[in-house]
Amino acid sequence: MATLADLKISEVKLSEEQTGKWGMVIDQDICTGCQACVAACAMENNISFVGEEDSGYGRSMHWIRIERFWEGEYPEVKMTPNQPILCQQCGSAPCEPVCPVFATVHSQAEQLNLQVYNRCVGTRYCANNCPYQVRSFNWRDYERPEPLPNQLNPDVTVRRRGVMEKCTFCIQRIQKAQDQAKGEGREVVDGEFTTACAQACPASAITFGRVDDPESLVSRLTEQNYGVKHLEELGTLPRVTYFKGG
Amino acid sequence: MSEKKNHAEHAHGEEHLREKHLMLDPLPRGQMNEMVMESMQTTSWKFWVVFAILSVIVAYGLFYSWGVMIAEGLGVAGVNRPAYWGIFLVNTVFWIGISHAGTFISAILRVFKAEFRRPFTRAAELMTTFGLVQAGFSIFMHMGRVWLSYWLMPYPNQRMLWPNLHSPLTWDLLAITTYLLSSTMYLFLPLIPDVAMARDRSTGWRKTFYKILALGFRGTEGEWTHLRNAMGIFAWAIIPVMFSVHTIVSWDFAAATRPGWNSTIFGPYFVVGALHSGMGAVVMVLAIVRGTMKNMKYFIRPEHFDAISKLMLIISMAWAYFFFNDYMVQWYGGDKWTKQLMHFQEAGPMGWMWFAMLIFNIAIPWAVLWNARWRATPWIVFIVGLLINVGMWFERYIIIPVSLSINRMPFTWRLYEPGIEIPLGIGTLAFFILLYMAASRLIPLVPVWEVQEGQMAHELKKYGRETVVSVSELE
Amino acid sequence: MAVFADLEPAADAIEHLRSIGVHDDCMNVISGIPVTEAMLGRPSQWTNVPRIALGGAALGFLGGFFLAYVTPYLYPYPIQVGTQAFVPGPPTVVVLFELTMLGMLLATFLGVFLDSLFPNYRPMKYVPEVSDGKIAILIECSVMDEKKLTDALNKLGAESVQQAEAQHL
Amino acid sequence: MSEQFSRRDFLKLAGVGAATTAVLTGCGPASRYVKREPYMQMPEYNYNGQSTYYATTCRECAAGCGLIVRTSQGRAIKTEGNANNPLNLGKTCARGQATLHGLYNPDRVTDPLKRISRGGASTQVMEWDAAIQAVADALKDNQPEEIAFLMGMAPDHLFDLVSDLAKATGMNAPIRFGALGMFESRATLSKAAENLFGEASLPFFDVGGAQVVFSFGANFLETWLSPVSYTRGFAGLREARTKQRGKFVQFESRMSQTGGKADEWISLRPGSEALVALAIGRLASELRGGPIPRAFSNVDPLDAASKSGVKLERLEHLAEMFAGSKGALAIPGGAALGQSNGLAVAEAVLALNAISDNFGKPGGIYLSALAPNQTEYQRPASAKEMRELVQKMFDGKIKVLFVHGVNPLFELPTSLEFRGAIKYVSQIISFATFPDETAREADYVFPDHHGLESWGYQRVATGSAQPVLSGAQPVVSPYYNTRATADVLIAAAQLAGGTFAEALPFKDEVEFLQSKAASLMNAADGSISAADINTFMAYFQQHGGYWKLSDARGIPNAADVLNRTFSAEEAQFAGEGEFFFIPFVSPTLAEAGANKPWLQELPDPTTTVMWNTWVEMNPETAHELGIENDDVVKVVSEAAELEAPVYVYPAIRPDTIAMPFGQGHTAYGRYAEQRGVNPADLLGQHFNEAGDLAFAGMKVKIEKTGKKKPLSRLESLMGVYGIGLGEE
């Protein structure tokens, strides 16, 4: 049973002004679109590869995808700054209320959108309602022939068919870091750990950290006036800030 | 001389009126009973051929294909990103729509004492129940992990979870369950006296079957009073339930943050759409029943087609009104994504569907149903009804997979190409027909006692030189 | 038991019977269509269906209330979705409405069963002609009156008057 | 829900605290893949054993990035960059991440194999002893000069071992080759450096320190030389937070991933790079005032403009940009060097740097530092040298060919006839880890460990200011019955006896490594030092290598660069046909990535195509030819013809088509085989002055086939190109 205290706390948390806890800043100006983050994410989070046919039919399971568009016509043609799109961990997430079985909920402690795979029954309403289209669905049990499963990360659930999944901000890493900090009786230090994508990024275009800690690099960057948040106008309170640059 | 002539005319006029209105050419109750019993018990070889074919289709299209999909995952269907919802939900909405006709006829018309309803209230109610069954099938097919669908039910469980009442899908669950149960009960109550009748005049396994169904109904004053009361309550209460069901279904879309979906008029728009396809389906069923079943030409007459057609025309107009209302406002709003979506619906690869929808749902009904003679011609009305149903299916297809192709992330736009949905969809249709055929041979399609009640209430009255139909209030 | 072909004689018969001192409670009319008490001049029937329905509605409402207002507080921890309150406003209306209706309609249905003691497969006094539109009047009376009544009924145009024996329907 | 989980456990768990309880969940069917565990405990919130981390070196390319590999219960789980390694400072590229899919690839060579008959599919498994015997026999039963070693660009320790063996026994010195090296035209770069600076070396371009970067075809953000460090450099160039944002201009005829990041993308006619570079030089020096240096005096900007298709105003504007900036840097590379005049291009572009006189200055050009245990600059064989080897094979001068770490039958253009030459080699012994095309032709396959199962080191050729020797150690025990090639050779040498045995007097690979590292033990300025070799090696493995602490890049001696004359003539193009043909290395697959499923599933950075090969074509051209996306066309060159679907690419010259290199395997495992085509097959036998392959020096024809093959792309044709949205 939820104690009255819990509820009090969480009622407070409901306020729209919440800054959130974990956040990310992505500098599109230095993102080279090299896909290292995509590969790192796949390796860290046991994401299935789906093969040529399905990936061509919009069923690829990337938790992070790099978007690019074109400006102008040849010869004055330009590639728009690469735009890595991942779950924006909305503070007010449209995906959450629509799930009939609470498979995607808001974490009070981490201020993240949790996807609880084993609750999911696969109505796919959350994915429809996600303005960023970052949720990927397990359309099949995609084969992972032996001995490939040896590589699976034991810290991350292996999803089966019929389940929705999405970027978790590498919550397993968050947990580890926090438990360790707790064990040593301290707060998690900024930069002590980071997400798989940020860690791999050769250009260091991705910065991850506490947005509620004014000292952290990520919140100092978020302060920069040239940061934008995607589809903010929908009131989703996204936690990822983009620098268009250029 | 002239007087005589007039008299003759009047006599002729009366004749005409009598054969026109079922309520005015009563037969002895016993004879009507016999006719109904006969219609149930005579089945031609054609019936069995169709029955067999449908059974095969159901076995393959519905059950086998579903088994494959459960084993393989939804990958065998056409759903993808961004069209996470496809024909399964189109069919769900479609079948729920069909189911609205029954309630509309047997509840609303009963409340408003529209006498022409009497012979086919049950035929319509059957559609409601069987339609909802198909809707159920479709929505379960849609789920990624259907074997866990019971998790949507509110019951104390070791997950320590209750369904999420914030979710329109949970409302759906409650509403559809309520609707299915209540419409089934509403089908059953008026049936009791008729199965009692059937019980009295049948033998063998039918006897036992009807005996069980009849629950020992004799027709005492008490029983009738309880029945009448109950039916009164149902007639009134089931109407809001019906409206709520399709409104809530529409909220599945309207509550979402998607361009084109987030529209306040979806509720009534969907309800009217449901009635539109529902009425279309009713006339189709009646035309078939009248054409294929013994003695039905007596109970179901052109007057009925005429009456339903009038309703269809009105509903078609209402639908057009709501459609334009939605279209106009979305267009005027000028949100860039919505504009993009509307352009995609009209000019995109599925544009033909959009125009077909308008032709089938508006142009054709308006062009045909204004004419009294065509209205009263079963096969014409049948075709119109068919087209309306196709048109309404298109409408749902455009609202769901086509609209899902366009979102706020152009990088992900993609078309939806149905896969195993097609056999499954055909399967549900076949199953619907199959159930209906079986029912038509097992339970009296015509509520004889209601017809007799009606015939008692009707009479010809002369005002001066004119003979008119007059109805007396019995209840 | 007396079987009549039509309403009028049946109504007359009932009137006569009453006049010769047969109490209304000792008569029961069986018909193939809903013949209102008024038609036969009989005292109006008592039915509990509306009350039961009301009770059902109340129960349904309570169920809805439980779902909407209690379950959100039964979780081991407060579940928050999309900055919506634990007990969302408008949706509760939907829940309350649907469950109230469900309760009411279920109760109405059961009400019919309770009131008319359905299902009931025991042998009962009945004549199949009833479902042909005939109207039967069941009269319970002492053996001595029997003769008298039979004559009276026959005179009043009863098609048949005989000792009603309970039969398996 | 697993049976053994009771409600009481649940309540116990429920007390753990919001973070954990927030996802305590119900039951469901257990996953079919992993050990059945109660769903109450999502692994994300639990400790599943302790992980151990090992430092090693990435083997996906020859750059030598340091890795930290996370292992758990003896399984390698995740690779991260080694933050200590000066080369990649904790970063990795996509291929480094996916290296685990190589380690646990379902299609590896699991045992030593003997092929029943050359070219046949059937093989029989051998014992390692027999295998070593076979190697020993091959060594001693043939004249030393009849034995040749063909090796990949990594690992270096094995190269050293074989070199020593060769030196001691008079065998042919090992030849190193790799498709990446070929497409990077390394020979051309070093030759240009030699001609200009009098010293053969790999130039080091300090992109990070520059203000303006002019890149003439150098795809330094993809696979070029050392992608990770150059990407870091690019980030430095753009580092708007700390300094003014540097400008970047790319000159090429097909927009590469690198070009996509340019502020200005200059599409010039293939072959005119030298001309343009010199013209810009001239205009710039005019702006600077004073006499026009000899280097630029013999070009006419107007002529350059007309020949290159770049407007004169544009050239002037660029010259202004270049001359106006403090730290301007010009980089030659990529397709620009892979032309008949590649060397001229390299020299001209290097000379352009003289304008900003950035030689040996931050943001300028250095000579890459030699690795700690390296005495002279070594480069992989140029295509021409490979051709010479092939000729020797034809002439029967080679009896035994050992192949390790390279797949010539796939990486080398067919027209160099390697396939034909091996028929004249009586014995081919491959040490391939994967069943690649060459291994399929070999008489013996003695599989080496995967890089993550191996000892060794790799010299960092370029990319880091400090000299770096990246160390490798096994992070997991070998998964299959494979054996380190170094161990095999050492054992075989002992068996062969004589000079062989003397050449490799080691117990095993590790002892050999120690001998090589010994010199560094107490060297000055080292990152680690120790009194005894074992301690030193322990440090070496622990830190993932050894590096000097100070900058050791060479200062190019560019005294008379401006006084030399440079040829401005355009490239010659072989073959008739209306299209210039630009093969480029797939940034995600490179030469050896095709068998790693997750690399196949990575969208190409420019086209977002996955799992296949495509032909890039300008929209206008496609329109004129009546070709649409996914139409399969036949590309006909003088050497061969290939069929591949078209990708209508907005950023390529109308007279140019391009194809990615990396797919088109006929062997190499289930994920690579029969997938796409190999554009190297189209290339003819044409070299530039430095002996590198003129891979961008061909013209090809396009023929329609009427077939269609939908490319699997991540992007939406509707959303990105407006195709299929309905006419406006």
Chain C nearest CA to D21, separation (Å): 7
In the predicted structure, residue C72 carries a pLDDT above the cut 60? yes
Q: For D56, phi and psi rounded to 5 degrees?
A: -155, -165
Which residues of chain D lie closer than 8 angstroms to C76, CB-CB?
Answer: 14, 21, 24
A113 chain-C contacts, CB cut-off 8 A: none
The ipTM assigned to this model is 0.90
CB B374 within 8 A of CB B305: no
Q: Do the strands D545-547 and D468-472 form a parallel or antiparallel pair, or are they unpaired?
A: antiparallel
Find residues 8-47 of chain D whose CB sits inside 8 Å of chain C: 14, 18, 21-22, 24
Residue D17 in contact with partner chain A when CB distance is under 8 A:
yes
Binding partners of C (≥3 Cβ pairs within 8 A): A, B, D
Q: What is the mean pLDDT of residues B201-210?
A: 90
Instruction: Report the pLDDT averaged over residues A79-96.
Output: 94
State which residue of chain B sits closest to D40, comparing Cα positions. Answer: B159
A225 CB-near residues (< 8 Å, 6+ apart): none
Question: Is D248 an 8 Å CB contact of chain A?
Answer: no
Give CA angle at D18 (D13, D22), nearest 5°.
80
Q: At D580, phi and psi to the nearest 5?
A: -70, 145
What are the tens digits of pLDDT across the range D76-131?
Answer: 999 999 999 999 999 999 999 999 999 999 999 999 999 999 888 899 999 999 99
User: CB-CB: which of B343, B344, B410 is closest to D716?
Assistant: B410
Q: How far D107 CA sits from the closest chain A CA (Å)?
A: 9
- The DSSP-derived string for D202-219 is -EEE-GGG-SEEEEEB--
First-last CA distance in chain D: 55
When CB atoms are compared, the residue of D27, D724, D725 closest to B159 is D27
CA-closest candidate to residue C61, choices C102, C5, C31: C102
d(CA B119, CA C36) in angstroms, rounded, equals: 21
- Using the beta-carbon criterion (under 8 Å), do A14 and C80 form an inter-chain contact? yes
What is the percentage of chain B residues whose pLDDT exceeds 90?
74
Cβ–Cβ < 8 Å for C55, C48: no
Q: Measured between CB atoms, which of C75, C77, C81 is closest to A97?
A: C81
Which residues of B lie closer than 8 Å to D, measured between beta carbons? 145, 147-148, 151, 157-161, 340, 343-344, 346-349, 351, 405, 409-415
Per the structure block, which two tokens stand in for B285? 């069923």
Tokens for B405, please give them. Answer: 């192709």
Give phi and psi for D398, each to the nearest 5. Answer: -115, 120
Of D444, D475, D446, nearest in space to D103 by CA: D475
- Per cent of chain B over pLDDT 70 is 97
> What pLDDT is recorded for position D407?
95
**Rounded distance between C-alpha atoms, residue A152 and residue A234, angstroms:** 37
* Encoded amino acid at D26, one letter: G
The single-letter code of the amino acid at B293 is M
DSSP-based three-state secondary structure for B231: helix
Do the chains contact at B165 and C92, CB–CB below 8 Å?
Answer: yes
Residue with the bigger pLDDT between B70 and A19: it is: B70
Distance CA C148, CA A178 (A): 99
Return the amino acid letter for D42: M
- Which of B209, B233, B450 is the best substitution to test chain C (most C C-beta atoms within 10 A)? B233
Q: Per the CB < 8 Å rule, is C84 touching A102? A: no
Between helix C7-19 and helix C143-155 the angle, nearest 10°, is: 140
The H-or-E segment that residue B468 falls in is strand B466-471
**Average pLDDT of D345-357?**
93
> To 5 degrees, how large is the angle CA B275–CA B278–CA B280?
110
d(CA B401, CA D314): 49
Lowest mean per-residue pLDDT among B32-46, C119-133, D554-568: C119-133
pLDDT at D11: 37
- Which residue blocks in chain C are alpha helix, DSSP H? 7-19, 37-40, 49-65, 89-115, 143-155
Average pLDDT value for chain D: 90
- Alpha carbon of residue C18 to chain centroid: 24
Residue A33: list chain D partners with CB under 8 A.
257, 260-261, 605-606
Which residues face A227 on adjacent strands?
A243
- Amino acid letter, residue B105: I
Which residue in chain D has the smallest CA separation from B162?
Answer: D26
**Contact: A101, B75; criterion CB under 8 Å:** no
Tokens of A167: 């970027």
Instruction: Please provide residue D97's backbone torsions phi and psi, each rounded to the nearest 5 degrees.
Output: -70, -40
The whole-number average pLDDT for the span B156-165 is 86
More reliable by pLDDT, A69 or B1: A69
| Angle between the N-to-C axes of helices D301-308 and D312-324, in degrees from 0 to 180, rounded to the nearest 10 | 120
Which stretch of A98-102, B309-313, B456-460 has the lowest confidence by average pLDDT? B456-460
Query: Does C83 contact A14 at a Cβ distance shorter than 8 Å?
Result: yes
SS3 per residue for chain A: CCCHHHHHHHHHHCCCCCCCCEEEEEECCCCCCCCHHHHHHHHHCCCCCCHHHHHHCCCCCCCCEEECCEECCCCCCEECCCEEECCCCCCCCCCCCCCCCCCEEECCCCCCEEECHHHCCCCCHHHHHCCCCCCEECCCCCCCCCCHHHHCCCCCCCCCCCCEECCCCCHHHHHHHHHHHHHCCCCCCCCCCCCHHHHHCCCCCEEEEECCCCCCHHHHHHHCCCEECCCHHHCCCCCEEEECCC
CA–CA distance, D169 with D503 (Å, rounded to integer): 7
| Class of residue B5 by CB neighbours under 10 A (exposed 0-12, middle 13-18, buried 19+) | exposed
Q: What residues of A are in contact with residue B256 (Cβ under 8 Å)?
A: 94, 98, 125, 128-129
Distance, CA of C126 to CA of D340 (rounded, Å): 111
The residue type found at D31 is: S
Residues of B in contact with D29 (CB under 8 A): 147
CB proximity list for C153: less than 8 A, separation 6 or greater = C2, C13, C17, C137, C161
If you write DSSP's letter for every residue of B283-344 in order, what string do you get?
Answer: HHHHHHHHHHSTTHHHHS-HHHHHHHHHHHHHHHHHHHHHHHHHHHHHHHH--HHHHHHHHH
Question: Mean pLDDT for chain C?
Answer: 86
Is C75 near chain D, with CB under 8 Å?
A: no
d(CA B110, CA D681): 81
- Alpha helices for D71-178 (secondary structure H): 94-103, 128-140, 156-169
Report the Cα–Cα distance between both ends of chain A, in Å, rounded: 53
CB-based contact, B395 to chain A, within 8 Å: no
Residue D218 neighbours by CB distance under 10 Å:
31
Q: How confident is the model at residue D156 (pLDDT cuts 50, 70, 90)?
A: very high
Tell me, yes or no, if B145 comes closer than 8 A to chain A by beta carbon.
yes
Q: How far is Cα A87 from Cα A112, in angstroms, rounded to an integer? A: 10
| Count of residues making up chain A | 246
**B166/C91 Cβ within 8 A:** yes
3-state class (DSSP) for residue D149 = strand
| Model confidence band, residue D247 (pLDDT cutoffs 50, 70, 90) | very high
Q: What pLDDT digit, counting tens, does each position of D623-636 carry?
A: 999 999 999 999 99
B469, B24 Cβ separation under 8 angstroms: yes
Residue in C with minimal Cα distance to B473 = C36
Neighbouring residues of C158: CB distance < 8 A, sequence distance ≥ 6:
C2, C3, C4, C9, C13
D529 in Cβ contact with D543 (< 8 Å)? no
The per-residue pLDDT for range C103-148, each reduced to its tens digit, is 999 999 999 999 888 888 888 888 888 888 888 888 877 766 778 8
Question: Closest chain B residue to A139 measured between Cα atoms?
Answer: B75
Rg of chain A (C-alpha set):
18
In this predicted structure, the answer to whether residue D64 has a pLDDT above a threshold of 70 is: yes
Instruction: Using CB atoms, list chains with 3+ pairs below 8 Å to chain B.
Output: A, C, D
Yes or no, beta carbons of B29 and C133 under 8 Å apart: yes
How is B86-150 classified by DSSP, letter by letter?
A: -HHHHHHHHHHHHHHHHHIIIIIHHHTT-GGGGGGHHHHHHHHHHHHHHHHHHHHHH-TTGGGGG
Nearest to B257 among A121, A129, A136 (CB): A129
Query: What's the CA gap between B355 and B361, in Å, rounded?
Result: 10
Omega of the bond prior to A147 within 30 degrees of 0, cis? yes
Subunits touching D (CB < 8 Å, at least 3 pairs)? A, B, C
Inter-chain residue contact B161 with A129, CB threshold 8 Å: no
pLDDT in tens, D597-622: 999 999 999 999 999 999 999 999 99
Nearest CA to CA, how far is D25 from chain C (Å)? 11
Contact B143 A137 (CB under 8 A): no
Q: Which chains touch A (3 or more CB pairs under 8 A)?
A: B, C, D
Confidence of residue D241 (pLDDT cuts 50, 70, 90): low
CB distance D308 to D656 below 8 Å: no
| Gap from C109 CA to chain A (nearest CA, Å) | 30
A-D contacts at Cβ under 8 angstroms: 261
User: B62 to chain C, minimum CA–CA distance in Å?
Assistant: 30
Query: What DSSP designation does D670 have?
Result: T
H-run or E-run covering D180: helix D179-184
Q: Which of A95, A96, A104, A114 has the highest number of chain C CBs within 10 A, making it the mutation to test binding with C?
A: A96
Phi and psi torsions of D622, nearest 5°: -55, -45
3-state SS of D542-553?
A: HHCEEEECCCCC
pLDDT at D4: 41
Residue written as token pair 């006498």: B115
D710–A171 C-beta distance less than 8 A: no
pLDDT in tens, D401-411: 999 999 999 99
DSSP track, D433-486: SS--HHHHH-SEE-PPPPGGG--EEEE--SS-SS-EEEEE--SS--SSS---HH
- The number of C-beta contacts closer than 8 angstroms across C and D is 7
Report CB contact under 8 Å: B151, A164: no
State if pTM tops 0.90. Answer: yes
Rounded alpha-carbon distances, angstroms, from residue B372 to B308, B368, B383, D467, D587: 12, 9, 16, 97, 72
Burial class (CB in 10 A: 0-12, 13-18, 19+), D685: middle
